[in-house]
Chains A and B, each alone.
Chain A
């Protein structure tokens, strides 16, 4: 008959092995959830970037002296869509693009013809819609990151996270809206 101490030890080892597997799988699942959530954000950012060339052409026709803003926007778009851009860089570019788009729509107030342009209005509505969708995707991403960060920092999952080399991830923070820049043309 087997030694009861040996059986007890075997059961304890099995128990802890199961716990270890569950924690390991849970951490992998949370990490993958972040990737999945970021993929949603990425897809919507691309959808927004696809609207930018049309916006640039429309605004250029009416607002010749906003050229520097439009050029910056185009450069940012090109950089965002190029290969090898990291997630953190994408977040940073997104924040800059958001600021520039806001300034364009604020400046559009100075150009009645542009404001009345059907193309501009449709683009504006489309951009507002995609902004709302990006905001939703950001919220989902941040929920996934928070869940993951909790696991990385709290005991006992932090022990495994340390062994697996998992570190706390950054939340997707939104750029604060800037005050309207006074128009050079004046009102």
Chain B
């Protein structure tokens, strides 16, 4: 992986021209958006001015039934929504060009084993396999897809955003709103066939419906610090302990502390799936801030390095248990 200093040099030499062109485009779009916003605000003020104040002696009920304030009220909701809609439409091309000209070069420069694509397809079956995300069609978006091999480990990570409630296990940081953050998938260093989930907080026992053993059962593990952060459910008690060795449990706890956010893990199909909610969008160019600030690129470098670091943090490149 390249250092930040090498990236800074690359930024100053190879990216300067394209960044300059994109910055000019950004300024033009920002001015347009501000102008549209000002026009809408003036229109709202005009509407507000035209609302009749009510006649002296007029009752409250009569004033309430007067619908002349309705256009203003409707505009108060519709105009901001329209502005956001216009913003998204205007920025679409700019974001795509930013991804093509900058991110597609920055990511392989940071690590030549990785490739970037703004909107490559992530198969819904892969998301479903995780068991912690329910890929209802049209309910979510995947963006900024990075894939490759880090050492011996095949990885795929991307930004995942719920647009509507998919009833998935993973949640945002405040646990109420929709999930937005990093979704990381890697080839695990052991073969297994069942499913084990490591979720923040207490593990939940799945209510049994009908006779027989419940599909997922709580697993009590030996590490008290791990148990204080996570609850584990599994389809196979022995396999859960095969995957979650004492050293891996400690590594997961350390990773959780490093991330500083709730971390959701799932082990299924000999892969590990990790979801980490982020309060901000990943790999997005600014609209109203300058693109020429290196700290922006530094942020992208940090995001890639963090995702790559997961492989080392969880020791996924150690392949001594039969699987190579």
Q: Point out residues on A near B: beta carbons under 8 Å.
A: 37, 40, 44, 125-126, 128-129, 132-133, 135-137, 139-140, 143
One of A40, A126, A136 near B322 (C-beta < 8 A):
A126
Judge if B241 is at the interface, Cβ distance under 8 Å.
yes
Q: How large is the interface on B (under 10, 10 to 19, 20 to 34, 35 or more residues)?
A: 10 to 19
Interface of B is mostly: loop
Q: How far is the CA of A137 from the CA of B238 in the complex (A)?
A: 5
30 A-B pairs, CB-CB below 8 angstroms? A37-B237, A37-B238, A40-B237, A40-B238, A44-B238, A125-B320, A125-B322, A126-B322, A128-B320, A128-B321, A129-B190, A129-B322, A129-B323, A132-B190, A132-B245, A132-B321, A133-B238, A133-B242, A135-B241, A135-B242, A135-B245, A136-B240, A136-B241, A136-B242, A136-B245, A137-B238, A137-B241, A139-B222, A139-B241, A140-B237
Residue B298, interface by CB 8 Å: no
Contacting residues, chain B, for A137 (C-beta < 8 A): 238, 241
A-chain residues with CB within 8 Å of residue B239 when the two chains form the complex: 136
**A143 / chain B contacts, CB cutoff of 8 Å:** 220, 222
Where chain A touches its partner, the secondary structure class is: helix
A37 and B239 CA atoms in complex are apart in Å by 12
With both beta carbons as reference points, the residue of chain B lying nearest to A122 in the complex is identified as B322
Q: Determine the residue in chain A with the shortest Cβ distance to B244.
A: A136
Interface string of B192-236 (1 = CB under 8 A from A): 000000000000000000000000000010100000000000000
Residues of chain A within 8 A of B323, CB atoms compared? 129
Listed from nearest, the 9 A-B pairs whose CB atoms lie closest are A129-B322, A136-B241, A136-B242, A129-B321, A139-B241, A137-B238, A40-B238, A140-B237, A125-B322
B246 to chain A, nearest CB (A): 9
Shortest CB distance B46–A (Å): 72
Known contacts: A125-B321, A126-B322, A140-B237. The answer to whether A132 contacts B242 by CB under 8 A is yes
CA distance A152 to B219 in the complex (A): 21
Q: CA–CA, A136 to B190, complex, Å?
A: 13
| A136→B238 contact, CB < 8 A | yes
A126 to B322, CA, bound (A): 6
Closest partner residue, chain B, to A127 (CB atom): B322
State the CA gap A136–B39 with chains docked (Å). 67
Complexed CA–CA distance, A107 and B146 (Å): 45
Q: Which residue of A lies closest to B323 (CB)?
A: A129
Chain A: minimal CB distance from B309 (Å): 25
Q: Which residues from B are CB-within-8-Å of A44?
A: 238
Distance from A114 Cβ to chain B, minimum over Cβ atoms (Å): 18
CA distance A136 to B321 in the complex (A): 13
**How far, in angstroms, from A137 to B236 measured CA to CA in the complex?**
11
Chain A: which residue is nearest B241 at the CB level? Answer: A136
Give the CA-CA distance A44 to B245 in the complex, in Å.
17
**Chain B positions 170 through 195: 1 when the CB is less than 8 Å from some CB of chain A, otherwise 0:** 00000000000000000000110000
Residues of B within 8 A of A128 (CB): 320-322
Residues of chain B contacted by A136 (CB below 8 angstroms): 238-242, 245
Residues of B within 8 A of A37 (CB): 237-238
- Distance in angstroms from B167 CB to nearest chain A CB is 31
Shortest Cβ distance from A137 into B: residue? B238
Residues of A near B191 (CB, < 8 A) are 129
Query: Shortest distance in angstroms between B222's beta carbon and chain A's nearest beta carbon?
Result: 7
CA separation between A133 and B245, bound complex, in Å?
Answer: 10
Nearest-neighbour CB distance to chain A for B284, whole angstroms, equals 42
Q: Which residues of A contact B220 (CB under 8 A)?
A: 143
Known: A37-B238, A135-B245, A139-B222. 8 other contacts (CB 8 A): A126-B322, A132-B245, A132-B321, A133-B242, A136-B241, A136-B242, A140-B238, A143-B220
Looking across the interface, which residue of chain A has its beta carbon closest to that of B243? Answer: A136
Q: How far is the CB of B106 from chain A (nearest CB, A)?
A: 38
Q: Is the CB of B241 within 8 A of A140?
A: yes
CB distance from A153 to the nearest CB of B (A): 18
